[in-house]
Amino acid sequence: MTDEGRRLDDEGARAAARPLVETRGISKRFGGVHAVEDVSVRIEAGRVHGLVGENGAGKSTLAKLIGGSHRPDGGELLVDGEPVDFHAPRDALAAGIATIAQEIALVPARTVMENVLLGIEPGTAGLVRRRDVRRRFDELNERTGFGLRANALVRSLRTAEQQKVEIMRAIARDARLVLMDEPTAALTRDESERLLEIVRTLAAGGTAVVLVSHYLEEVLSVADTVTVMRNGRLVRTAPAAQETPETLVAGMIGRELSLEFPPKEPPPADAPVVLEARGLTRGRALVDVSLTVRAGEIVGLAGLVGSGRTEVARAIFGADRLDAGEVLFEGRPVVIRGPRHASRLGIAMLPESRKEQGLFMIRPVRENVSIVDLESFSTAGVVSRRRERARTAELARDLDVRAASPEAPVTTLSGGNQQKVLFAKWLLRRPKLLIADEPTRGVDVGAKRQIHELLIRLAKEGMAVLLISSEIEEVLGLSHRVLVMRTGRVVGEFTGDAITDEAVMNAAFATAPGAAA
């Protein structure tokens, strides 16, 4: 198919009008959710194509569809004007499409040269011709101008250098399109700029680049064309010269609010401060973060994925160690030694990923709920199943956990019900501070509504709630106060009527007037 495509390329004038890669009405569903719906884009050779959108807008999924990591449920993917069906990234690579993923995928204990030419070593019958390998590597080094040391071990390199190795690997495989998903997220400013320079060089050499990024300025500085996505759909594709960060943000958030929220009841002005954190710092992930949460208050923590929201939650809960900072709980300074200590103080945390960090998937609902307060059902270390069953059943009923029975393994429950199990588990301890990290991710609309009502009810009963969500509507709809984070810092705070989507998004994307990028 690729050969045929190349033959057609020789036909000259006709080929110029035809994009290198094109999607026509492409769609991808996960469960019942449309991650990408009916998206058509054209990616031209030798151009840099930016792809922007909110968290969960479907930009990474679109990149994965083009890169062969996902297979579309509908629509068409065309390379050189010919429909293709990729089953794996390997197929895409054979068609000249290489992906540089967020997570570096190299063999750390081997050299740069070995990594670049892994699987395509020049040689015969399984024997590698070392001289040819070296010649090929030097050739690539010269062509890209990366100046990588052939015999350096990959694990000894900085992230930025490792990315160069990945890019060179793509070029060594004659990639005509390089997909980059958030390539600068882990880089310093200088490194980012150098990477963007590489992107320009690639494009100048005829390679197409798709750049998925949260950094709008960055995208605008390097891209020829920008595609904006929202809720899995295409908003528009336009020349980068016609866009500004503000127009991109406006396109990304749209105007409609699809969820309705109950009216807010702010806590009384004299409500006591439950949590006060001062100057929390942990490496580059958290920089001097201070915040307070009062009894009955829902404080929303907004920001892009990777902006440090989860790190705040984990630091307060004692799951990660802090380099600096202090925590006052109910007015008393405390040094939280770990999750066990935090839960005994009266702090609960619903972790970001319920499967990885929250639940014991093959164990029954009952055991998942009771684990945090098992001692209270036990005499001399022996669990009273009767008391355990009674209490967990009561909570499950209260939260409307729909399971075949309390003995059903959690893995048999829907996402929404799994999330309710997590709530039930922590409510067992009647916490004074509840930290909910992405409490409605991957949850159906009905359960989402129930979880929203629950959070509001808990706050009304006097619980302090710290809510983290990538869904801007949820943060806006529930929070009495919103803190916005970017690159590990709190960069904005909004209360009452000042909580608007523009204000929050502009702070999160650093497009607000006067905000430093």
Partner 1 sequence: MSVVAARLRHVDYRDYGIVVAFLALFVALSIASDSFLERQNLSNILDQWAAFGLLACGETICIIAGVFDLSVGSIVTVAGVVACKVANSSSPSLGLIAGAATGLGLGIANGVVIDRTRINSFIGTLATSIVYSGLAVIITGGLTVTVLKSGFGALGQDTLLGIKYTGWMWIVFAIVTAFVLSRTTFGRYVYAVGGNVEAARLSGVRVGVVRTTCFAVSGLGAGLAGDLLASRTQSAAANLGVGMELTAISAAVVGGTSILGGEGAIWRGVLGTLLLAIIGNGFNLLNIDTTYQQIVQGGLILLAVAADQLARRR
| Residue 367 binds partner 1, judged by CB under 8 A | yes
Least Å from the CB of residue 159 to partner 1: 24
Residue 372 engages partner 1 in binding (rule: CB under 8 A): yes
Residue 216 identity: L
Pick left, alpha or beta for residue 376 (phi over 0 → left; psi -120 to 50 → alpha; otherwise beta).
Answer: alpha
**Of the listed pieces 171-179, 199-207, 352-360, 456-464, which binds partner 1 according to CB under 8 A?**
352-360
Of positions 363, 387, 441, 449, contacts partner 1 by CB under 8 A: 363
Q: What CA–CA distances, in Å, run from 39 to 36, 50, 59, 180, 311?
A: 7, 15, 10, 19, 34
Q: Is 343 in the site for partner 1 (CB under 8 A)?
A: yes
Which amino acid does the sequence have at 183? P
**Inter-CA distances, 315 with 19, 172, 342, 351, Å:** 48, 43, 10, 12
Q: What do you get for the CA distance between the two ends of the chain, in Å? A: 44
Min dist CB 33 to partner 1, Å, is 23
Residue 351 lies near partner 1 (rule: CB under 8 A): yes
Which of 351, 352, 386, 389 is CA-nearest to residue 370? 389
Q: Could you say whether residue 335 binds partner 1 (CB under 8 A)?
A: no
Torsion of CA 366, 368, 374, 380, to 10 degrees: 70
Q: Which is nearer to partner 1, 204 or 374 (CB)?
A: 374
Q: Kindly state whether residue 441 participates in binding partner 1, applying the rule CB under 8 A.
A: no
Region from 91-99, 173-181, 333-341, 453-461 binding partner 1, contact rule CB under 8 A: 333-341
**Which residue, 79 or 365, has its beta carbon nearer to partner 1?**
365
Segment 53 to 112, residues that bind partner 1, using CB under 8 A: none
Integer-rounded Cα Rg, in Å, for the chain is: 26
- Does 381 sit near partner 1 (CB under 8 A)? yes
By CB under 8 A, residue 34 contacts partner 1: no
Q: How far is the CB of 37 from partner 1 (least distance, A)?
A: 30
Q: Which two tokens stand for residue 331?
A: 């007015």
What phi-psi label fits residue 462: left (phi over 0), alpha (psi between -120 and 50 degrees) or beta? left
Are residues 467 and 436 in contact, defined by beta-carbon separation less than 8 angstroms?
yes
Q: For residues 31 and 338, which CB has a smaller minimum distance to partner 1 in the complex?
A: 338
Q: Which two tokens stand for residue 20?
A: 């290198």
| Of 102, 159, 221, 357, the one binding partner 1 by CB under 8 A | 357
CA distance 276 to 156: 40
Binding residue for partner 1, selected from 73, 408, 441, 489, defined by CB under 8 A: 408
**Options 38-46, 63-71, 356-364, 439-447: segment touching partner 1 (CB under 8 A):** 356-364
**Does the footprint of partner 1 cover residue 8 (CB under 8 A)?**
no
Tell me if 493 sits within 8 A of 484, measured CB to CB.
yes
Under rule CB under 8 A, residue 362 binds partner 1: yes
479 binds partner 1 (CB under 8 A): no
**Is there binding between residue 515 and partner 1 (CB under 8 A)?**
no
Three-class SS of residue 384? coil
Min dist CB 432 to partner 1, Å, is 15
Question: Phi first, then psi: what are they for 27, rounded to 5°?
Answer: -135, 150
277 closest CA partner among 207, 342, 364, 221: 342
Determine how many CB atoms are found less than 10 A away from the CB of residue 161: 17
CB of 407 to partner 1, least distance (A): 5
Residue 195 phi, psi dihedral angles, 5° rounding = -65, -40
Smallest distance, partner 1 to C-beta of residue 35, A: 25
Contact pick of 344, 397, 402, 430 for partner 1 (by CB under 8 A)? 344
Task: Please select the residue that binds partner 1; options are 53, 56, 358, 492, rule is CB under 8 A.
Answer: 358
139 binds partner 1 (CB under 8 A): no
CA-to-CA distance for 44 and 325, rounded, in angstroms? 50
User: Using CB under 8 A, which residues numbered 115 to 134 contact partner 1?
Assistant: none
Cα dist from 220 to 214, 216, 277, 366, 442, whole Å = 11, 6, 37, 52, 31
CB 64 within 8 A of CB 70: yes
Nearer to partner 1, 304 or 369 (CB): 369
For residue 25, the minimal CB distance to partner 1 (Å) is: 34
Size of the site for partner 1 (CB under 8 A): 37
Burial class (CB in 10 A: 0-12, 13-18, 19+), 409: middle
Interface residue with partner 1 among 425, 452, 480, 481 (CB under 8 A) is 425
Closest contact distance (angstroms) between CB of 209 and partner 1 is 36
Residue of 137, 146, 215, 317 that binds partner 1 (CB under 8 A): 317
Which among 16-24, 95-103, 241-249, 381-389 is the span making contact with partner 1, rule CB under 8 A? 381-389
CA distances from 311 to 306, 344, 394 (A): 9, 20, 33
Contact (Cβ atoms closer than 8 angstroms) between residue 502 and residue 515: no
Tokens of 326: 């202090």
Judged by CB under 8 A, the residue of 185, 259, 319, 328 near partner 1 is 319
Q: Which of 5, 50, 89, 364 binds partner 1 (CB under 8 A)?
A: 364
Closest contact distance (angstroms) between CB of 355 and partner 1 is 8
Query: How far is residue 64's CA from residue 61's CA, in Å, rounded to a whole number?
Result: 5
Enumerate binding residues for partner 1 (CB under 8 A). 317, 319, 338-340, 342-344, 349, 351, 356-364, 367, 370-372, 374-375, 378, 381-383, 389, 404-409, 425
